[in-house]
Structure 1
Amino acid sequence: MKRLAFAGLFLGMALLLTACPTEPPPPPPPTSCIPTPTVLSAQGFGSQGVVPQGLGDFSAPHVPGELLVLPGALTPQGLAARVEGVRPLSALEGGFLRVQVPRGQERAKAEALLRAGARFVQPNYLYFPLYAPSDPLYTVSPTDSSRLKSYLDLLYMEAAWDLVRSQAYGCTPVVAVLDTVFNRAHEDAGLFLPGYNATQDGLGESNLDPSPPPSGYSYMNNDPDHGQGVAGLVAAVADNGKGVPGLGLNRVKVLPIKVFYWVAGSYASTSQVLADAIRYAADQGAAVINLSLGSTTPLDGVVQNALNYALSKGSLPVAAAGNDGTDGLMYPAAYPGVLAVGSARLDGTRSDFSNYSTTPRDLVLAPGGNQNPPQTLHVLALGRDYPYYQSPGRYVAQAGTSFAAPMVSAVAALYVAHYHAVRGQAPTVSQVKQCLIQTAANGGQYDAQTGYGLVQADRVLSDATYCFP
């Protein structure tokens, strides 16, 4: 059986890392450095005299008991006389009036003001600092370049989280993570569901511990911690003052499924085990199946069949593109129906290790670090030792397309929850994939190096064309 290669890179933290002047020309004549102003209309809404009309959006957060009114031909006193309960408070620049109305009656009074002759009425909207969770390995630090914020800013994640926090969700999507090993007792793993051991390691179906290596073999490169890191990027507990926040912001859960064990002298998985795990995840109702693993085997009918089954059950497979830095995606990322994820470094370009595809594929990017110069990001580690394996601790710095894929899985799951809250039902698998691809940074255009570009989480939760048509 062919060995499946991890799609993650386990990187260390060490850094690898004029013309001659002549006589200066005379100074130019003084000119103004002030930009040419735009000519505004009397109301302050543009040179064409276009002014808003009608009602503002009363679903957005706003100050209770206040309205902002463009009165048209009416005076403040005239408005107050025509609509009971309206009291003028102050005049604003641009011709607006701020008025007081009974709390809870903002929209009703706005409609009454329009009937009385006002041109436009809106709430006094509230603006907030973009939300940032309290997890200590999130915020930027000059002494720790692996903090998550700089990476998640590429996805506009904080703006997306603001949209998440403003909406009550009636469903909790599940992301199945098919990977190495999981420790559900970790301080940041409170959103991990009871898992499934799909391997044939003899430890039992509920045992997610590392498989005992055969005589003469041992684990290397923190391999078992891989699954915990992948799962944590989806659903590490956010805002608990510990470690890192999962991108799902406590609205998404992880179903951990162990698929790696010692087989044929390698720590790997097999077609049979992987297919069984994919089908199990789909049968458990997983909205997304994260596959941060890969093989060069181009035709695996058993796995392809399982992927088709998952798609038919409403589960979207999301798979890492691979870490060879070459043209051509690993499998299962390259299979039809799978959303492939490559890695971006901090400047938003493709990571030097990330596979790409000159053949158009359903490929997007998410942050995953870089090899040279090294860029890593903090993720969960097992934080627990075993008789035959010692974890590096509770958290570790990693890089690779393995860690880009779960970011996309988490955003996809948030979209499912948000769509359900807005429309009262879940989107189809095709809708989820179309939304993420068409709102990505390349504007719906395919590029050989970056696919459809970086996922834009804020657009995924708000776009009216492709996500909420």
Structure 2
Amino acid sequence: MSPLARPFRTRAFGLLGALTAVVASWTVAAPAAQADDMRSRQWYLDAMKADELWKVSTGKGITVGVLDTGVDSTVSELHGVKVLPGRNFYGEGPGRVDNKDTDRHGTNMAITIAGNGANGGIKGLAPNVTILPVKTGSAVDVGGATAATEGIRYAVDNGARIINMSFGGYRQEDAEIARWQEAVDYALKKGALLFAASGNDGLDTDSYPASAPGVVAVGALDSKGKVTKFSNYGDYVALAAPGDDMPGRCSSDKNTYCETFGTSQATAVASASAALIWSAHPDWTANQVLRVMMETAGHNGPVPSKYIGYGSIRPAQVLLEGKGDPGPPDVNPLLAARSSRSPAPQTSPSPESTGAGDNGQSSQESPSKAPEAAAGSNGGGLPLWAIVASAAAGVVIIGVVVAVSVRSRRA
């Protein structure tokens, strides 16, 4: 999940969730003039051999349903991108047309998937997909699954073959878990592929919708191919993708950029990777696309791992190397594997390494250091404006933490 939105609601997770949300929101905005080095900041495109992938597939013909806070199609990265009229299932009047996004989270997911990269902006991994915005609001609240589950049904009924859900929540009541599963099963029967963020608290805990059987839960990797410290883990994690030190539109000003991190971004990269593969193989089913993604995922240790699942997503292995057996069209490989294995007896991060991307890097299955907000393209010292902004953000964080502590005592 991204620092540009509320990945976990305070009232759903208490003080720990509040601290995570506050720290994750600490980003440093760079002046718009620095957008000219944007491609160098998108390290994951080179790691995944994007320039070579685009010679084979750009995601054309695939519709991705972005269930999120909405998508603002007026940002420059989405000019010329096919963004369908959005639908809002959050608040009053569910199902109404709505293409607004007040905090940029959904917009950033759409950009990560399909951004055009024009004028020094962010380039998406699958620039020719069609984006279907489905506004689900804060679906992580207790009792808040209804908007998202209705959004899932709407998306698949309106042509979305891939569902991107860069959100999640822990405290789900039995009725909500059942509601999640009904919606997921409906989408699977319609032939859709669903991706969801595992979570940003670095915890071994279930998160919905990521842990719902049939959903592909995605963990986050850093630029060194290591599992990030913030990425949630558990037996439900299926795959991992880049999700650290990635540029995005700032929530406060759409004309500036921030360094962002989260399993939200990793989920968007996973959805884009699936779109590239499916576009190149339009006759495959969702099961076959997922199977080749699992078979070609990078790993050096035992699989599945509770930290990276079946490994790091590598679409180049499929599109450039021709690897991966699509197998039977009507068998979901994730559900089949889940029913045939017992949970691995892992209780702490393993030191085993895992191949990440197609750049020869490896991933340790132990979390790397916590991500830090950064400015510029080379990881050098922060300029004065960034230092001042960082100091101010630190003061805000302290104040919010104190306030949350007081509210927690009152609660």
The two structures have a TM-score, normalised by structure 2, of: 0.66
Q: Is the 8 A contact 2:57 2:279 kept in 1?
A: no
Structure (1/2) with the larger strand percentage: 1
Question: In the superposition, relative to structure 1, how do residues 468 and 316 fare at CA in structure 2: closer, same or farther (>3 Å)?
Answer: closer
Q: 2:271 aligns with which of 389, 396, 409?
A: 409
> Is residue 12 from structure 1 mapped to residue 27 from structure 2 by the alignment?
yes
Q: Deviations over 1:144-176 (max 9, x none)?
A: xxx11x2333333333223327xxx8x510111
> Is residue 445 from structure 1 mapped to residue 303 from structure 2 by the alignment?
yes
User: CA RMSD of the aligned region, Å?
Assistant: 3.1
Q: 2:248 aligns with which of 370, 379, 382?
A: 379
* CA distance in 2 between partners of 1:392 and 1:237 (Å): 16
> Is residue 461 from structure 1 mapped to residue 340 from structure 2 by the alignment?
no
**Aligned equivalent of 2:290:** 433
> Is residue 340 from structure 1 mapped to residue 217 from structure 2 by the alignment?
yes
Query: For 1:10-409, what aligned pairs fall within 5 Å after superposition?
Result: 10-13=25-28, 136-140=36-40, 147-148=41-42, 150-164=43-57, 172-190=61-79, 191=81, 192-202=83-93, 205-209=96-100, 224-238=103-117, 240-249=118-127, 251-260=128-137, 270-297=144-171, 299=174, 300-357=177-234, 359=235, 361=236, 363-369=238-244, 376-381=245-250, 390-391=252-253, 393-409=255-271
Question: In the superposition, relative to structure 1, how do residues 178 and 430 fare at CA in structure 2: closer, same or farther (>3 Å)?
Answer: same
Q: Is the 8 A contact 1:343 1:400 kept in 2?
A: yes
Cα deviation for residue 362 of structure 1 reads 5.1
* CA distance in 2 between partners of 1:176 and 1:339 (Å): 15
Q: Is the 8 A contact 2:198 2:237 kept in 1?
A: no
Q: Deviations over 1:27-71 (max 9, x none)?
A: xxxxxxxxxxxxxxxxxxxxxxxxxxxxxxxxxxxxxxxxxxxxx
Q: Deviations over 1:216-264 (max 9, x none)?
A: xxxxxxx8211111111011124x3331111103x21211111116x9x
Tell me the secondary structure at the aligned position of residue 97 of structure 2: coil
Q: Is the 8 A contact 1:260 1:267 kept in 2?
A: no
Q: Is the 8 A contact 2:71 2:106 kept in 1?
A: yes
Structure 1 counterpart of 2:113, which letter? Answer: V
* CA distance in 1 between partners of 2:322 and 2:200 (Å): 35
Cα deviation for residue 208 of structure 1 reads 3.1
Question: In the superposition, relative to structure 1, how do residues 268 and 297 fare at CA in structure 2: closer, same or farther (>3 Å)?
Answer: closer
Gaps of 5+ in 1: 15-134, 141-146, 211-222, 370-375, 383-389
Question: In the superposition, relative to structure 1, how do residues 201 and 395 fare at CA in structure 2: closer, same or farther (>3 Å)?
Answer: farther
Q: Deviations over 1:109-146 (max 9, x none)?
A: xxxxxxxxxxxxxxxxxxxxxxxxxx845432xxxxxx
Question: In the superposition, relative to structure 1, how do residues 334 and 417 fare at CA in structure 2: closer, same or farther (>3 Å)?
Answer: same
Q: Deviations over 1:441-469 (max 9, x none)?
A: 01783223222221112013245452567
Q: Deviations over 1:240-290 (max 9, x none)?
A: 3331111103x21211111116x9xx9898221111100000101111100
Q: Is the 8 A contact 1:234 1:248 kept in 2?
A: yes
Q: Is the 8 A contact 1:177 1:230 kept in 2?
A: yes
Tell me the secondary structure at the aligned position of residue 347 of structure 1: coil
Tell me the secondary structure at the aligned position of residue 317 of structure 1: strand
* CA distance in 1 between partners of 2:253 and 2:204 (Å): 34
* CA distance in 1 between partners of 2:276 and 2:143 (Å): 29
Tell me the secondary structure at the aligned position of residue 188 of structure 1: helix
Tell me the secondary structure at the aligned position of residue 99 of structure 2: coil
Q: Is the 8 A contact 1:137 1:244 kept in 2?
A: no
Gaps of 5+ in 2: 1-8, 30-34, 328-411
- Aligned-residue identity in percent: 30
Cα deviation for residue 367 of structure 1 reads 1.1
Question: In the superposition, relative to structure 1, how do residues 397 and 201 fare at CA in structure 2: closer, same or farther (>3 Å)?
Answer: farther
Q: Is the 8 A contact 2:204 2:233 kept in 1?
A: yes
Tell me the secondary structure at the aligned position of residue 139 of structure 1: helix
The two structures have a TM-score, normalised by structure 1, of: 0.58
* CA distance in 1 between partners of 2:57 and 2:306 (Å): 32
Computing the radius of gyration over CA atoms, which structure comes out larger, 1 or 2? 1
Tell me the secondary structure at the aligned position of residue 77 of structure 2: coil
* CA distance in 2 between partners of 1:463 and 1:306 (Å): 35
